Amino acid sequence: MLKIEGIKIATINSKIKYKNRDDLLLIYLPKGTIAAGVFTQSDIVGDCIITARQNLKKGLAQALIVNAGNANVFNGKLGQESVNNINFTASDLFNCPQEHIYSFSTGVIGEVLQDKLITDKLPQMVQNLEQNDISWQKAAQAILTTDLTDKKISKEFEISGEKIKINAIAKGSGMIAPNMATMLSYIFTNINIDQKVLQQIFSQINEVSFNSITVDSDSSTSDAAMIFSTKKAQNPEINDINDPNLNIFKKNLQEIMIYLAKEIVFDGEGAQKLIEINVKNAKSEESAKKIAFAVANSPLVKTAIAGEDPNWGRILMAIGKVAEKIDPNKISIKIGDNNIVTNGIKDDSYDENKTHNYLKNKEIYIEINLNIANFNRRVWSCDFTEEYIKINKDYRS
C-alpha cells in the first residue's frame, strides 16, 4: 500500500466478539480532510449510519473508527448512545468537533454494543498511531467478519505533475446484494478536490461497482462506503464535475471500486466461482438491472454453476420471472464464448460438453442480449454452495 501523507492507523483487540485478533480500527485523518459516502438503503439501519449521514452534511473528517463483531443495530436508544459515546471520546482525544468522527460497526444485529470496550481502548490506540505497510494490512484485517481474505488495493497516478495516491480497503461477505449489503469500504486519497464533486463521482462509481454485486440477495443494515481526501496533493483544486483533470482520477477510482466489489463477491460466503452477468440491449436501465440481478440472485442458476452444469434453462427462467416484457424470440445467451441461445432458440453450435468444460473455470461470464433497445448492465455474483449454508447455519455458534 502507498504512504499517504498525514494518515495514521492503529488496530487492537477490543474483546467485543473476537478473542484472538484485532477487531477495532482507528484511522486518524489530518485536519482539512474531506469525506464523501454512500450507505445502505435499508429501512432498518444502524445508528452509526444515521450519524454518518448527518455528519456528511459538513463533509469534514478527523477520524474513522470501525469495529467488527457487533453491528449495533436495533438496540433502541442504547444504539445511538453507543455511537455518541464512541464519537464523543474520539473527538475529545483529537480535540475536534464530534461531527468529524465517523464510526462504523459490523457483525450481529440486536445485541447491545459494549461501547466501553471501544472507548477504553481509544487512548492507547492514539498512542500507537502510525502508517506503514503493516498498519494498512492490519487495517484491512481488523474490519473483517466472516471474510476469508482481506481486501485492499492501491493506485498512484499524476494530475498536473502531482502524485495522486489512492489506498482502499473493504470487507464482505454475506448479505451482499444491490445497495451494497453488509459491505464496508474505506478509500483514502490525497487529491485536491471539492467535497461536492468528490461525493458526486463517488455516488456515480458506486452504482457500477458496489451496487452491482450480490452474494445472496440479502441486504445489510450497516453498509457503508466512504472516501476521504486529505487534499494534500498540490494539483489545482478540482471543483467542477467537467474538469478534464477529473477523468484520470475517476478511471482509477472506478478500477479500484470494481476490483474491491469483485473481491467481495469472490470471497462471498462459500463461493468458489465469480459470475459476471452482462445484460445487453434492454428496454431501460432499470429493466437491464432487474434482469441482471434476477439471474445473479437465482438460487437455481447459482447452484447450477456451482455444479458446473450448463443448465441454461434456469437462466431463461430467471429472465422470465421478473416479467419485464421481454421478447423471448429475440433473446440470445452466451456462456463464455459459447453461443447457447440465439434469437430465442438453442444455438445450432451449442455443445453441452464444451460449455460444461468452460464452467470449470473460476470466473464465469454470462451474456444476455435482449435485443430490444440499447440499455446495458453488468453485475457480479458468485455460485451457491453447501458451504454457504454451513457458514450461515452456524454463524453465531
Enumerate the active-site residues: 182
Q: At what angle do helices 47-55 and 77-94 cross, to 10 degrees?
A: 50
Contact between 80 and a copy of itself per CB under 8 A: no
Bridge partners, residue 38, by sequence = 225
Under 8 Å between Cβ of 330 and 344:
yes
**Which one, 13 or 371, has the nearer CB to a copy of itself?**
371
**Which one, 159 or 224, has the nearer CB to a copy of itself?**
224
Give burial (CB, 10 Å; 0-12/13-18/19+) of 250.
middle
CB hemisphere CA count around 172 (13 angstroms): 34
Q: Which of 258, 179, 188 is nearest to 228 (CA)?
A: 188
**Alpha carbon distances (Å) from 283 to 294, 324, 369:** 16, 9, 11
Q: Of the ranges 20-28, 148-156, 281-289, 305-313, which one interacts with a copy of itself (CB under 8 A)? A: 305-313
Q: Tell me the C-alpha distance between 72 and 55, whole Å.
A: 18
CB of 261 to a copy of itself, least distance (A): 18
Q: Tell me the C-alpha distance between 150 and 90, whole Å.
A: 26
β-strand 345-346 against 224-229: which pairing, if any? unpaired
Contact between 384 and a copy of itself per CB under 8 A: yes
Under 8 Å between Cβ of 52 and 39:
yes
Among 281, 311, 371, 376, indicate the residue that binds a copy of itself (CB under 8 A): 311
Contact between 360 and a copy of itself per CB under 8 A: no
Among 313, 337, 349, 361, indicate the residue that binds a copy of itself (CB under 8 A): 313
Contact between 104 and a copy of itself per CB under 8 A: no
Contact letters (x/-) for a copy of itself, 15-54, by CB under 8 A? --------------------------xxxxx---------
**Which one, 180 or 274, has the nearer CB to a copy of itself?**
180
The CA R_g of the chain, rounded to the nearest whole Å, is 22
Contact letters (x/-) for a copy of itself, 316-335, by CB under 8 A? xxxxxxxxxxx-x-------
Contact between 6 and a copy of itself per CB under 8 A: no
Among 15, 74, 85, 98, indicate the residue that binds a copy of itself (CB under 8 A): 74
Listing DSSP states for 95-121 in one string gives: TS-GGGEEEEEEEESSS---HHHHHTT
Q: What number of chain residues touch a copy of itself (CB under 8 A)?
A: 65
CB of 213 to a copy of itself, least distance (A): 15
In the complex, which residues of this chain contact a copy of itself (CB under 8 A)?
Answer: 41-45, 71, 73-76, 108-111, 174-175, 177, 179, 216-221, 297-300, 303-304, 306-307, 309, 311-314, 316-326, 328, 341, 344-346, 384-386, 388-390, 392-397
